[in-house]
């Protein structure tokens, strides 16, 4: 079995909100979330650096697992817990710099071929998506659905995994039933009529992650 070649994350990362502001990071840490991601799209490093610094400081203060999406140089520079990268990022990223700095790495995948590519990198976790239709991000592929997700979980055996895409409160139990270690959500929290209630319910189902 392939083992991660980046620093380990817990097998079960639990509830994993993906949010676009430091304000959301602060709110979610305050209600007990311990795995989360800052995902700010399409800015320069200079434009996002202050937000990345603030998010990382909050992550350290709460001893949380804060991943930075895309801005890996800033994540390394300011010592984030980890970085999340897409497939297209892998070829243009200094993966050794991330590993040597001791940061964890998560990699997106959408099918078996992309899982092959991810496994070659041996990241800390592998993200599998999108499971259901999503309004949050324009996806070039079709949703993979629960059966395919379950197949990937079986293939990946005890590799840490994260499911993402269209995971609502109602759908979360069936996703967790595949054995995936974590559910990453955007709109289930940020578009919820009562985000605190939604977060509490998702935490109850998925947990905050193993220590």
Ligand X SMILES: Cc1ncsc1CCOP(=O)(O)O
Ligand Y SMILES: Cc1ncc(COP(=O)(O)OP(=O)(O)O)c(N)n1
Residue 12, annotated ligand binder?
no
In the bound state with ligand X, the residue whose beta carbon lies nearer, of 129 and 160, is 129
Strand residue runs (E) in the chain: 14-19, 35-38, 65-69, 82-85, 104-109, 125-129, 161-164, 182-185
Q: Looking at 117-125, 143-151, 180-188, 196-204, which segment touches ligand X (CB under 6 A)?
A: 180-188
The binder of 185, among ligand Y, ligand X, Mg ion, none, by C-beta within 5 to 8 A per type, is ligand X
Site string for Mg ion, 54-83 (x = CB under 5 A): ---------------xx-------------
Question: What's the gap between Cα 156 and its chain centre?
Answer: 17
By CB under 6 A, the residues from 111 to 170 that bind ligand Y are 127, 129, 137, 162, 164
CA distances from 46 to 39, 101, 112 (A): 15, 21, 36
Which of 21, 87, 134, 148 is the binder for ligand X (CB under 6 A)? 134
Identify the residue among 187, 201, 207, 210 touching ligand X (CB under 6 A). Answer: 187
My answer on whether omega of the bond before 67 falls inside 30° of 0, hence cis, is no
Strands 104-109, 82-85: pairing is: parallel
Residue 183: is it exposed, middle or buried by C-beta count within 10 angstroms (0-12/13-18/19+)? Answer: buried
Backbone angles phi, psi at 82, to 5 degrees: -160, 175
By CB under 6 A, the residues from 5 to 64 that bind ligand X are 18
162, interface contact from Mg ion, ligand Y, ligand X, none, CB < 5-8 Å by kind: ligand Y
Distances in Å between the Cα of 65 and the Cα atoms of 17, 20, 21, 83, 198 are: 11, 16, 16, 10, 20
Q: In this chain, which of 10, 86, 143, 207 binds ligand Y, going by CB under 6 A?
A: 86
Stretch that binds ligand Y, among 23-31, 78-86, 90-98, 147-155 (CB under 6 A): 78-86
The answer to whether residue 111 forms part of the interface with ligand X (CB under 6 A) is no
Which residues are documented as binding site? 37-41, 69-70, 89, 108, 134-137, 166, 186-187
């Amino acid at each position: 079995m392939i083992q991660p070649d980046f620093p380990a994350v817990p097998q079960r990362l639990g509830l994993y909100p993906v949010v676009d502001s430091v304000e959301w990071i602060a709110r979610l840490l305050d209600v007990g979330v311990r795995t989360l991601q800052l995902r700010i799209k399409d800015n320069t490093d200079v434009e996002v650096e202050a937000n990345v610094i603030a998010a990382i400081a909050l992550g350290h203060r709460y001893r949380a697992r804060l991943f930075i999406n895309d801005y890996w140089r800033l994540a390394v520079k300011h010592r984030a817990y980890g970085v999340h990268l897409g497939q297209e990022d892998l070829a243009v990223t200094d993966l050794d710099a991330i590993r040597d700095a001791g940061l964890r790495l998560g990699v997106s995948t959408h099918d078996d071929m992309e899982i092959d590519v991810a496994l070659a990198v041996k990241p800390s976790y592998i993200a599998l998506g999108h499971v259901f239709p999503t309004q949050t991000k324009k996806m070039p592929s079709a949703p993979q659905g629960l059966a395919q997700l379950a197949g990937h979980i079986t293939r990946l055996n005890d590799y840490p995994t994260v499911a993402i895409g269209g995971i609502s409160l109602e759908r979360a139990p069936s996703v967790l039933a595949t054995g995936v270690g974590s559910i990453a959500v955007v709109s289930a929290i940020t578009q919820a009529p009562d985000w605190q209630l939604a977060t509490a319910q998702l935490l109850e189902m998925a947990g905050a992650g193993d220590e």
